Amino acid sequence: MTTQTAAGAGRTGVVGYLTRTKKRGRIGTADVLTYIYLLVGIVLMFGPVIWILMSSFKTPAEVTKFPPRFLPYQQETAVVEGYDEPLPLFDVTLEDGSVARLAQVRRVGLEAQMIDPASPEEIIRVNINARQPVEEVKFSLDNYTEGMESFNFWRYFLNSVVVTFVATILTLLVNSMAAFSLSKYEYRGRNAIFLIILSTLMVPLSVILVPAFLLITQIGWNNNLLGVIVPGAATPTGVFLLRQYMLTIPDELIDSARIDGASEWRIYLQIVLPLARPALAVLAIFSVMWRWNDFLWPKIVLTQNQVFTLQVGLEAFQGDLQVQWNLILAMTVLTLLPITFVFGILQKYITTGIATTGMK
């Protein structure tokens, strides 16, 4: 597999191509391969989402059509005097070989009854194979409006926002307090507490589904957003991340604040938290990602439609056998829009944040 590249003096093979740095002013095979890889990456990462976006504008007939087309086509129609509904337009090859644009009144077997919209009195009978539908590209929002009649988007959206927002605030508060305690105080049992918290990194909520569900039932949090928010608020990842960061904050800062008479609570909120901002930001990003996309636990706690989050609502919507693909597509796009929007604005901070602070 190792091939000598033109620019690579002594640098060969896949590894060579991957690790070599570019020489000034020369574009080697390696660079070409790099950009091909990246371009394929763009297509693979964004392509599926763009495909589903395009599909969501299609009519039910167009959605089931094979082979599918990229753009959403729709047959043109014409309003003809004497007919209530708009009639579909076709380009018809007439017997004399000329092509006319006619509207179809009805289809009987292999024969279609057509009329000329300009002179609607005369009915022209043509073979159905002699007509071609007149199509235009149209981004129709019908799937969205129809889907939202049974998919309660704004309600689900609001529930998801409440869960994500409250849970993230709670997660940041509770975990940063614990991290402050575990990094800046000396007391008996401190290391034991830290170890116990860390060890549950391996025991996620999905492993204790049944007993956790019992607990929620006994507290009475079924179909209550609190039942989704609270259980996951104390996360070992959060404690670990914040503790490691807070260890780098010098103790002298805290000691001098104590000498100045600041209470411990003020030291935590006004000295430690501002200094731990990068780590807090990363935990906030993680928390928003976890909570917004969470599915299994909300699905177990929430069984009534009005408390569904977006993910639970979408899954229930697609599980309904009455619902057609064109509507599912539109609602899937609606569900992915908010996070895509947020990502579009904040992508730089999200990726650099996780890369620089998240995994130390």
Partner 1 sequence: MSSATVPHTHHVSVWRRVQKQLGAAFNAVLNFFIDLMDYIMHPLQRLVGIRGMGYVFVLPNLLIFGVFILLPMITNFFYTFTGGANLFLDQRPYVGAQNLERLFDCQNFLAPNTCREDLFARAVTNTALFVITQVALMIGISLLTALVLNRKIIARGFFRSVYFYPVLLSPIVVGLIWKWILQENGLLNALLVAFGGDKVGFLTDANWARFWVVMISVWSLMGFYTLILLAGLQSIPSDLYEAADIDGANVFQSFRSITLPLLMPTMLVVLILSLIRAVQVFDVVFAFTGGGPGSATIYIVQYIYNNGFASATKEYGLASAASLVMAGSLIVLTLAQLRLRGTNNVT
Q: Does 341 sit near partner 1 (CB under 8 A)?
A: no
Site stretch for partner 1 (CB under 8 A), options 72-80, 149-157, 161-169, 268-276: 268-276
Q: Name the packing angle between helices 236-246 and 277-293 (round to 10°).
A: 170
How far apart are the C-alpha atoms of 314 and 326, rounded to whole Å? Answer: 14
Q: Does 248 sit near partner 1 (CB under 8 A)?
A: no
Q: Does 209 sit near partner 1 (CB under 8 A)?
A: yes
Among the listed residues 27, 35, 111, 306, the single contact to partner 1 using CB under 8 A: 35
Specify which residues 135 forms β-bridges with.
75
Q: Does 192 sit near partner 1 (CB under 8 A)?
A: no
The least distance separating partner 1 from the CB of residue 262, rounded to whole angstroms, comes to 10
- Angstrom CA distances, 203 to 196, 233, 235, 296, stand at 11, 15, 11, 15
Among the listed residues 131, 181, 225, 228, the single contact to partner 1 using CB under 8 A: 181
Q: Does 195 sit near partner 1 (CB under 8 A)?
A: no
Q: For residue 357, which of 281, 301, 294, 300 has the smallest C-alpha distance? A: 281
> Which is nearer to partner 1, 114 or 298 (by Cβ)?
298
Among the listed residues 4, 41, 127, 256, the single contact to partner 1 using CB under 8 A: 41
Q: Does 135 sit near partner 1 (CB under 8 A)?
A: no
**Binding residues with partner 1: total (CB under 8 A):** 109
Task: Indicate if the alpha-carbon torsion angle 148, 153, 156, 158 is positive or negative.
Answer: negative
Give yes or no for a contact between 329 and 56, defined as CB atoms under 8 angstroms apart.
Answer: yes
Among the listed residues 21, 119, 191, 322, the single contact to partner 1 using CB under 8 A: 21
Among the listed residues 64, 145, 150, 306, the single contact to partner 1 using CB under 8 A: 64
Q: Does 138 sit near partner 1 (CB under 8 A)?
A: no
The least distance separating partner 1 from the CB of residue 12, rounded to whole angstroms, comes to 7
Site stretch for partner 1 (CB under 8 A), options 93-101, 126-134, 161-169, 198-206: 198-206
Residues 66-85 that bind partner 1 (CB under 8 A): 66-68
How far apart are the C-alpha atoms of 205 and 217, rounded to whole Å? Answer: 16
Cα(first)–Cα(last) distance of the chain, in Å?
Answer: 36
Q: Does 208 sit near partner 1 (CB under 8 A)?
A: yes
The least distance separating partner 1 from the CB of residue 205, rounded to whole angstroms, comes to 8
> Which is nearer to partner 1, 63 or 114 (by Cβ)?
63
> Which is nearer to partner 1, 74 or 326 (by Cβ)?
326
Residues in the chain: 360
Q: For residue 8, which of 227, 349, 269, 27 has the smallest C-alpha distance? A: 27
Give yes or no for a contact between 227 and 221, defined as CB atoms under 8 angstroms apart.
Answer: yes
> Which is nearer to partner 1, 97 or 211 (by Cβ)?
211
Q: Does 20 sit near partner 1 (CB under 8 A)?
A: yes
- Angstrom CA distances, 188 to 76, 85, 191, 320, stand at 78, 81, 8, 55
The helix, strand and coil proportions of the chain, stated in percent and rounded to the nearest 5, come to 60, 10, 25
Residue partners of 273: CB distance under 8 A and separation at least 6 = 176, 280
Q: Does 143 sit near partner 1 (CB under 8 A)?
A: no
